[in-house]
Amino acid sequence: MRSVPILRAVLLSAQGLTRTYRLGTQMVTGISEASLSLDAGEFAVLAGPSGSGKTTLLNCLGLLDTPDSGTLVFEGRDVSGLSDKERARVRRERLGFVFQNSQLIPVLTAEENVSLALWIREYSDAESKSRAREALAAVGLGGMEDRKPDALSGGQRQRVAVARAIVGKPALILADEPTASLDSETSRKLLDLFDALHTKLGVTFLFSSHDPRMIERAARRIDLLDGKIVSDRIVREAA
Amino acid sequence: MNRWQRLSALNLMRHRRRTLLTGSIVVVGFVAVTMTAGFVSQTFSSLRKATIRGTGGHLKLVDPQAFGKTDDEAAGILLTNWPEIDQVVRKDPRVIQAMPKLQFFGLVSKGEKSAAYLGTGTVPALEKQVSLTTDAIASGTFFENPEGDEVMLGTGLARAIGATAGDLVTVMTTTPEGGLNAQDATVVAVMQYPIKELDDRLLYMPYNVAARLLSAEGKASSVVVLLRGDDVDDVDRAGKDIGAALKASGHPVVVRTWLETAAFYKQVRMLYISIFFFMGLVLSTVVILAVANTMTMSVFERTREIGTLLALGMERGTVRRLFVFEGFLLALVGCVVGTILSLLLREALNASGIMLPPPPGGTKGNLLHVDFIPSAYGIGFAVMSVTLLLASLWPARRASRLNPVEALSHV
C-alpha cells in the first residue's frame, strides 16, 4: 500500500483508532480502525468527501478529541491515555493548528493573534512580539501586524492563522480544510505558503481537503471513505 | 494589567452597549448601597440624639435597690443627697451636666375633670438644654422658674382635663412614705410628645416643687448625666469611671447607659438594618441575574473562540479566569463610576434643603443630609465584586468545560 521514507523518524503513529459519536438518537461512526504513521517532515493530506471522517481523524491525531479505542503514539510517547491537562500541554507545545475559518480572536491584532500561541506558553511579551513579527513576515504579512481580523481579507486571515500555527515551532501542523472558505486563487496561494514553509522550515504538515486541486499538492495522500482509511500512498517525493 | 486581563477588558468593550447596560446596573446598585448607608447613618444619628435628649443624658444613675424594679416598685427608692452626687459626677471632665429627676404619678385635676399622670420633676434650666420637650411645646412657654408652681402637660393629658396654657390645675400624688399631697400649679406649656401613650400622661414640674410635693428634698429618683460625646464605648467607659468614683465617695449607684435603656432605639435600628439588608439582597439578586445573563450570552457568542483557545492549549483554569475577570472588571469600573456619581448626588441632595419628617420618636424634622460613610463605599465595592464574581462563575465554568471539538464546530 504505502512506502515510508526509511531515514525519517516516525513522528506520529496511530493504531486502530475508532471514534463514534451520538447524532440525535443514532450512534455514528466517525472513524473506524484507522491506522497510520506520519514521519517528521512529511507533507500529507487526508482526502475524502464530506463525512468521510477527515475532521474526526485530524481531531483525534491533534489530541482535540479522544478516540473510543486504539492507540496513538506521538514523538515516541503513548498519548492515548493522557489527562485533559496533559493533552493541552502537548497541543500548546508540540502541535500547531489551522482551522477552516481561521478562528482568529477579533479583538486582537494580527500580531497579538499570533502571539496568543506564545502567551499560552507563557513567553514574555517582548519574545512573543518579536517571534510573532517573524512569523507574520514568513507568511508574507509583514507590515500588517496592527490590523485586526476584520481589516484583513479571508486569505490574509488564514495566513495569520498559519503564522499562529508555526510561531511556536511545533513538531506537526494540522490543518482542517484550510482552504474551504477561500476562493481558488487564494487557496492556491495558501497551499504555496504551506509548501514553502514545509520546504524551507521543514515543518511537518497534515491537512485535510476534499478539493482535488489542493489534494494534488501533497506529497502523501491518505484517502478516507466512510470513516476508514482506504488508501495511503506517496504521490510525489517530499522535499 | 496582564495580557489575559487586557483580553478580558477588550472582550468587554466588544459589545459596548450591552456592557454599558450591565455596568449601569452595577453603578445603580453601588449608588443605592452608598446613598442608603449615608441616609441610614444620618437617621441613626438623629435618632440617637433624639433618644439621648429624650432621656436627658447619656447616663442614668439610680439607687442599687431600685435597679431592676418596675417604676411602681422603684417609686419610693430614691437617691439621697443628690447635690453630693452631683459634685462627684461634675469632677469628671467628660461631664457637661448632671440633673436630678423625680419620677412620680398621681392625678391632675382641673375643675371637675381629673386624669392620671406620669410626672417628672426636673431642673428647668438643665432640662431646657437637653430635653426633647423644648422642641415639643405646642402652646405656652417652657418653664424657667425653678421655684415656680408651674407644670407642663402633654397635649393628650391637657385635653383630657380640658386645660390650656395659663390654666390652674391641682397635682395630687402620694409621698414615698405613703402620705397624700397636692399642689396647685399653673400650666405654662402644653407639649406635643411623639409617643401618644406618653403624651396622654405626661407632666413636667420644676424639681424643687416636685421635691416639696413628695417631701423628698435633696433626693432624686435618678440623676441623668450628659456627656460631651456620643460614642458608645466612650459612654460605657465614662459610666464605669463615674460609678467607681461615686462608690469610692460613699454613694453607691447603678449606672445605666442610654443605650441600655433605649429599647425603642434598638428596635428601630434593627428594623432599619433589616430593611437595608433586604434591599441589598434584592439589589444583589438583580445584579447577579443581569450580569449572569450578559456573561452567559458572551460565552455563547464566543464559543468558537473558546474552542480555539482550548485547541491552542490554553489551560481550562485560564479560560475560567478570563470570564471571571470580566465580571470583576465590570464591578471595578461600575464602582469607580458609582463612587463619582454617589459623591455628586450626595452633594446635590445635601444642598437641596429638603426637609424630612421627624425620625421615629422625634418631634422635629431634619434637613435631608446623606452622611459620607467611607466604609459603605468599601463594603459596596466588596459586595459588588463578590456579586459579580458569583454571577460570572457559572458562565466561566461553562466556558472552561467546553469540549474544544464541539466548541470549534459551534454555529
> Could you give the CA distance from residue A39 to residue A219 in angstroms, rounded to a whole number?
12
> Could you give the CA distance from residue B59 to residue B244 in angstroms, rounded to a whole number?
14
Name the band, by pLDDT with cuts 50, 70 and 90, for residue A146.
Answer: very high
Q: Which parts of B162-231 fold into alpha helices (H)?
A: 196-199, 207-214
**Which one, of A166, A222, A233, A153, lies nearest residue A193 by Cα?**
A166
**Residues B235-286: tens digit of each pLDDT:** 999 999 999 999 998 888 898 888 888 888 888 889 888 988 888 888 888 8
The CATH number for A151's domain is 3.40.50.300
Does residue A64 fall inside a structural domain?
Answer: yes
Q: Characterize the bridge pairing of strands A43-47 and A95-98.
A: unpaired
Residues near B172 by beta carbon (within 8 Å), at least 6 away in sequence: B106, B107, B108, B109, B180, B181, B182
H-helix or E-strand spanning residue A205: strand A205-209
> Could you give the CA distance from residue A131 to residue B142 in angstroms, rounded to a whole number?
89
Q: Minimal Cα–Cα distance from B328 to chain A, Å?
A: 19
Nearest chain B alpha carbon to A120: B314
Higher-scoring residue by pLDDT: A165, B291: A165
B321 has a pLDDT exceeding 80: yes
Does residue A5 fall inside a structural domain?
Answer: no
Q: CB of B399 within 8 A of CB of B319?
A: yes
B310 contacts in chain A (CB < 8 Å): 88
Does residue A151 fall inside a structural domain?
Answer: yes
Residues in a beta bridge with B182: B172
**Residues B377-392: tens digit of each pLDDT:** 998 899 888 888 888 8
- A99, A105, A125: residue with CB nearest B408: A99
Does residue A217 fall inside a structural domain?
Answer: yes
> Could you give the CA distance from residue B4 to residue A123 in angstroms, rounded to a whole number?
13
Helix (H, G, I), strand (E, B) or coil at A173: strand
DSSP string, B259-295: HHH-HHHHHHHHHHHHHHHHHHHHHHHHHHHHHHHHH
**Based on the structure, what is the number of domains in chain A?**
1
**Which one, of B282, B306, B252, B257, lies nearest residue B36 by Cα?**
B282
pTM score > 0.80 for this model?
no
C-alpha cell at B329: 472588571
A117 has a pLDDT exceeding 90: yes
Domain range for residue A83?
Answer: 10-234
Q: CB of A49 within 8 A of CB of A90?
A: no
Please answer yes or no on whether A93 and B315 come within 8 Å at the CB atom: no
**Residues A206-226: tens digit of each pLDDT:** 999 988 888 988 999 999 999
B50 has a pLDDT exceeding 50: yes
**Residues A46-83: tens digit of each pLDDT:** 999 988 999 999 999 999 999 999 999 999 999 998 99
Q: How many helices (H) and strands (E) does chain B have?
A: 15, 12
Q: CB of B54 within 8 A of CB of B361?
A: yes
Q: For residue B343, count CB atoms less than 10 angstroms from its CB and return exposed for 0-12, middle for 13-18, buried for 19 or more.
A: middle
| Chain A residues contacting B via beta carbons under 8 Å | 59, 62, 64-65, 84-85, 88-93, 95, 97, 99, 103, 105-108, 116-117, 119-121, 125, 164
pLDDT recorded at residue B346: 94
Please answer yes or no on whether A93 and B11 come within 8 Å at the CB atom: no
Q: CB of A30 within 8 A of CB of A20?
A: yes
DSSP string, A84-101: HHHHHHHHHHHEEEE-TT
Does residue A207 fall inside a structural domain?
Answer: yes
Q: Minimal Cα–Cα distance from A52 to chain B, Å?
A: 16
H-helix or E-strand spanning residue B12: helix B3-14
Q: CB of B327 within 8 A of CB of B392?
A: yes
Going from N- to C-terminal start, the domains of chain B cover 3-51+265-408, 59-228
What percent of chain B has pLDDT above 90? 37
- A92, A99, A125: residue with CB nearest B313: A92
Q: Indicate the range of A156-170, B155-169, B356-370 predicted with least confidence.
A: B356-370
DSSP string, B103-158: EEEEEEEETTEEEEEEEEEE-HHHHHHH-GGGTTEEEE-----TT--EEEEEHHHH
Does residue A165 fall inside a structural domain?
Answer: yes
Please answer yes or no on whether B308 and A99 come within 8 Å at the CB atom: yes
**Residues B199-215: tens digit of each pLDDT:** 899 999 999 999 999 98
User: What is the longest distance spanned by two Cα atoms in chain A?
Assistant: 51
The mean pLDDT of chain B is 87
> Could you give the CA distance from residue A108 to residue B13 in angstroms, rounded to a whole number?
12
Residue reference for cell 491537562? A85
Residues near B384 by beta carbon (within 8 Å), at least 6 away in sequence: B26, B29, B30, B33, B287, B331, B334, B335, B338
DSSP string, B289-320: HHHHHHHHHHHHHTHHHHHHHHHTT--HHHHH
> Could you give the CA distance from residue B57 to residue B81 in angstroms, rounded to a whole number?
20
**Which one, of B46, B45, B173, lies nearest residue B109 by Cα?**
B173
Q: CB of B56 within 8 A of CB of B130?
A: yes
- Of A61, A116, A162, which to mutate for an interface test with B (greatest number of B Cβ within 10 Å)? A116
Mean pLDDT for A184-197 is: 86
Q: CB of A64 within 8 A of CB of B405?
A: yes
